[in-house]
Chain A
Amino acid sequence: MISWKDFARNEWKSVARSPIAGQMIATRILWAVIIFVVSMQFIAVGAYLPTILRKEYHGVDPLAAINSFLWVYFIFDIILRLIITTIPSTVARQYLPLNIGRKTIANYLVVKSTFNLANAIGIVLWLSFSCSYFTSFLPGFLWFAGIIVILSFNNLIFLFLATLRQLSVSIMVVFLAGGIFYLLQHFNFFSFNEGAAFFFNGLADMQYRALLILSFFLATFAWFVRERITGVLYGSDEANVLSKKYSVSETAGLRFEWLLMWRNKRLRTMMFGLYCFLAPSFLLQVIVFQSNPKTSFGYLMPFMMLNFYFMTICSMWSQLTFMTESTFFDLLYTLKGFLKLYLRKKFFFQCVLLLAAFCVATVAGIVFFKKPLLGTMVALCIFHGGTTAFLALFRATFHRKRFEINTSAWFNYQGSSFSIVDILIFINAFAAPALYYAFLKLGWTSAVVPFFGLVGAIGLVFYKHLLDMIYRSFHKWRYSMLEGFRTLV
């Protein structure tokens, strides 16, 4: 019979053999370095978190501070799963026709989803925090186990709701529940923080009763949910047929771009992956900045890092929509002159998304720092418009193998992932904040805004030339691109 070892072995093979992992040893080393660096960042943040919180909260227990925000984190987690992700049984499709029990497949899906890379980053943070905060093993282990239980539970709820295939209704119910909770809190009938304290703080005082009660309820409900899932766990055949109504094979305007983005499950799930990646950082910032806005300028750098990540990813969206065009990329090439227009449209669409990111980041600046940081934000927006947007389009010309998406890789979240070539775009996400930091360290604070603004402005001024260059690159690599788009379907 198939055992967990077989599933784990397959997962490992799916990662090691995926085009994302790359064939070259250099690519694999690069991946290993990136994963190591990101993991170390989160380990360091988690380890240092108790110190930061003690300093910022002045006498408040760091665990209580973290716990009070965990509610928000987990509620957002389940809401975003509902909105963004697709039916997860698509990743278990190969196993459904075989002689493998559906309970086993349901368990596999839950574990796979819980420990996917996006969640794993958060998990690393919490693990590091628990090791740093708790002085003895048992309470630390229980607190961390509680986090895993809740993450898994969120997965179970999602699987359950997804199998009902009534997502729109489910989303409404969740939002309604969220609205009711908000109103209850607003009128002081209920407090998230007090609720969190009730459930979680018992751990800090070695009082496990609250956790045991919570675990019992979760386990009971989880059992019910799993039974429900196994009863109706149908393959992607069902999902595929249902999603057919979303297939589109024509092109026009920005509105159409939005439709392509939203209706493409890979893009939606990628958005979720982004959320999972940023959520721990976001949580950290909320805890730190909201605690003491006056001193929060000391944490400007992590905030700017977040904005670099955020804006870079936003500028990537449009490029990512190339994934959706596999059905009609041949057409783009056969229509005379259309590709040039099409690339321009892509570029302008990226600019629109950047403006949206700019608005969000500026509002975040007002919330966290009580001042808009307008100059920096404008400079960043221009910088990304003049650099990342073009890098993203240029990246699209790479060989088909690098376009390929392996829906089974572990670090895919339910059917989506990044390719190794995306590192090209991440240059702005990793190198630019480092440059920003260097400017601040050298004391050239006043040069930051002009520098980033100028670099971006140069790109924007010469956008026609840059688009022409990209067009030539598209033309040069047309055969491999066309083949790549065809096989992507």
Chain B
Amino acid sequence: MIYIHNLSKSYNDKKVLDVASLSISEHSTFGLVGNNGAGKTTLFRLILDLIQGDSGTVTSFGIPVAGREEWKSYTASFLDEGFLIPFLTPEEYFAFVGKAYDLSLTEMERGVAAYGTLLNGEVMGQKKLIRDFSIGNKRKIGIAAALAIRPKVLILDEPFANLDPSSQLKLVKILEELSSRRETTILVSSHDLSHITKVCDRIALIEKGKIIRDGTTTDDTLRELEHYFGTE
């Protein structure tokens, strides 16, 4: 499980994240929603040890993420295009990522092929470098790489953003299936309330760096969130 205790982060004396306590149980699918600048990405970056927290700790299955690296071997993530290596082809990138996780080329190819529907035949075998793909396809490459290594913990930041409607629905289906298998702990943030309520069994609402609502997803969750964000 992932456990967060007293985690805070400030930029220029402005506190952008302040989470007293949060635990995400194993094999659960945890959703994070909030307005722009609420602290969703900052929280994920802290969980991935990509930025240094001012205080507090994050542990992943008992391993503190800051200072130790064992958690990396079972964690996959895609937050933004900075996670991609622009001068590689998608095939080369998948092979590189696979190697980082000690997967053979065949294993990685098999892993990517499992999510071939998401890539929609627009990515593989195109003889194009990642930097030459559209933003949507770049995101698909990053998400597919994270999925392909079959991680124990999967972290995706706004995975539906910039995807075409059919890819969004495919990704929803993939995440639902992954969630139903109960083998992976999934953390997803999104602005798409309908998708996230469909995928996640628990949703937290973050505002100005604080988690102000956290609960199991029910039939009413979507309506409540829409009400909160003023769309209803």
Residues of chain A within 8 A (CB-CB) of B73 are: 99
A245 to B12, CA, bound (A): 9
Residues of chain B within 8 A (CB-CB) of A408 are: 85-87
Q: Is A99 a contact partner of B87 (Cβ separation < 8 A)?
A: no
Residues of chain B within 8 A (CB-CB) of A406 are: 86-87
B220 within 8 A of partner (CB): no
Which of B48-56, B159-167, B168-176, B180-188 lines the interface with chain A? B48-56
A10 within 8 A of partner (CB): yes
Residues of chain B within 8 A (CB-CB) of A97 are: 48, 50, 77, 79, 83
A1 within 8 A of partner (CB): yes
CB distance from A101 to the nearest CB of B (A): 6
A205 within 8 A of partner (CB): no
Residues of chain B within 8 A (CB-CB) of A96 are: 50
CB distance from B53 to the nearest CB of A (A): 10
B100 within 8 A of partner (CB): yes
B230 within 8 A of partner (CB): no
Q: Is B100 a contact partner of A1 (Cβ separation < 8 A)?
A: yes
CB distance from B59 to the nearest CB of A (A): 17
Residues of chain B within 8 A (CB-CB) of A234 are: 49-52
Taking a contact as CB atoms closer than 8 A, the residue among A10, A18, A242 that contacts B88 in the complex is A10
Q: Is B100 a contact partner of A100 (Cβ separation < 8 A)?
A: yes
Q: Is A93 a contact partner of B82 (Cβ separation < 8 A)?
A: yes
Residues of chain A within 8 A (CB-CB) of B100 are: 1-2, 98-100
CB distance from B49 to the nearest CB of A (A): 8
Q: Is A99 a contact partner of B72 (Cβ separation < 8 A)?
A: yes
Q: Is B97 a contact partner of A98 (Cβ separation < 8 A)?
A: yes
Q: Is B69 a contact partner of A102 (Cβ separation < 8 A)?
A: yes
Using an 8 Å CB-CB cutoff, how does the interface string of B53-95 with A read, 1 for contact, 0 for none?
Answer: 0000000000000010100110101010011111110001000
Q: How many residues in B have their beta carbons less than 8 Å from beta carbons of A?
A: 30
Taking a contact as CB atoms closer than 8 A, the residue among B51, B86, B88, B92 that contacts A235 in the complex is B51
Q: Is B82 a contact partner of A1 (Cβ separation < 8 A)?
A: no
Q: Is A10 a contact partner of B85 (Cβ separation < 8 A)?
A: yes
A-B contact count (CB 8 A): 71
Using an 8 Å CB-CB cutoff, how does the interface string of A200-234 with B read, 1 for contact, 0 for none?
Answer: 00000000000000000000000000000001101
A118 to B92, CA, bound (A): 29
Known pairs A13-B88, A100-B100; A94 contacts B51 (CB<8 A) = no
CB distance from A318 to the nearest CB of B (A): 28
Taking a contact as CB atoms closer than 8 A, the residue among A6, A13, A101, A241 that contacts B99 in the complex is A6
Residues of chain A within 8 A (CB-CB) of B96 are: 2, 6, 10
Residues of chain A within 8 A (CB-CB) of B79 are: 97
CB distance from B20 to the nearest CB of A (A): 23
A61 within 8 A of partner (CB): no
A238 within 8 A of partner (CB): yes
Q: How many residues in A have their beta carbons less than 8 Å from beta carbons of B?
A: 29
Q: Is B99 a contact partner of A2 (Cβ separation < 8 A)?
A: yes
B3 within 8 A of partner (CB): no
A468 within 8 A of partner (CB): no
A97 to B72, CA, bound (A): 8
Chain B, residue nearest A102 (CB): B69
CB distance from B194 to the nearest CB of A (A): 28
A18 to B11, CA, bound (A): 34
Taking a contact as CB atoms closer than 8 A, the residue among A17, A100, A102 that contacts B129 in the complex is A17
A264 within 8 A of partner (CB): no
CB distance from A100 to the nearest CB of B (A): 6
A473 within 8 A of partner (CB): no
Residues of chain B within 8 A (CB-CB) of A237 are: 45, 50-51, 82
A10 to B84, CA, bound (A): 13
Known pairs A236-B82, A238-B50; A98 contacts B72 (CB<8 A) = yes
A14 within 8 A of partner (CB): yes
B101 within 8 A of partner (CB): yes
B102 within 8 A of partner (CB): yes
Query: Which residues, 1 to 31 on A, are CB-close (under 8 Å) to B?
Result: 1-2, 6, 10, 13-14, 17-18
Residues of chain B within 8 A (CB-CB) of A94 are: 82-85
Residues of chain A within 8 A (CB-CB) of B88 are: 10, 13
CB distance from B87 to the nearest CB of A (A): 5
Chain A, residue nearest B79 (CB): A97
Residues of chain B within 8 A (CB-CB) of A2 are: 96, 99-100
Query: Which residues, 405 to 439 on A, are CB-close (under 8 Å) to B?
Result: 406, 408
CB distance from A488 to the nearest CB of B (A): 12
CB distance from A227 to the nearest CB of B (A): 11
Chain B, residue nearest A407 (CB): B86
Using an 8 Å CB-CB cutoff, how does the interface string of B90-119 with A read, 1 for contact, 0 for none?
Answer: 001000110111100000000000000000
A192 to B86, CA, bound (A): 46
CB distance from B26 to the nearest CB of A (A): 20
Query: Which residues, 93 to 122 on A, are CB-close (under 8 Å) to B?
Result: 93-94, 96-102
Q: Which residues of B does A touch, CB under 8 Å?
A: 11-12, 45, 48-52, 67, 69, 72-73, 75, 77, 79, 82-88, 92, 96-97, 99-102, 129
Q: Can you report 10 residue pairs joining A to B where beta carbons are below 8 Å apart?
A: A2-B100, A10-B87, A17-B129, A93-B83, A97-B77, A97-B83, A98-B101, A234-B49, A237-B51, A406-B86
Other A-B pairs beyond A93-B82, A100-B72, A237-B51, 15, CB < 8 Å: A1-B100, A6-B99, A10-B87, A10-B88, A13-B87, A13-B92, A93-B83, A94-B83, A97-B48, A97-B79, A98-B100, A99-B72, A102-B69, A236-B82, A237-B45
Q: Which 9 A-B pairs have the closest CB atoms?
A: A98-B100, A99-B72, A17-B87, A99-B100, A235-B50, A94-B85, A238-B51, A14-B87, A237-B50
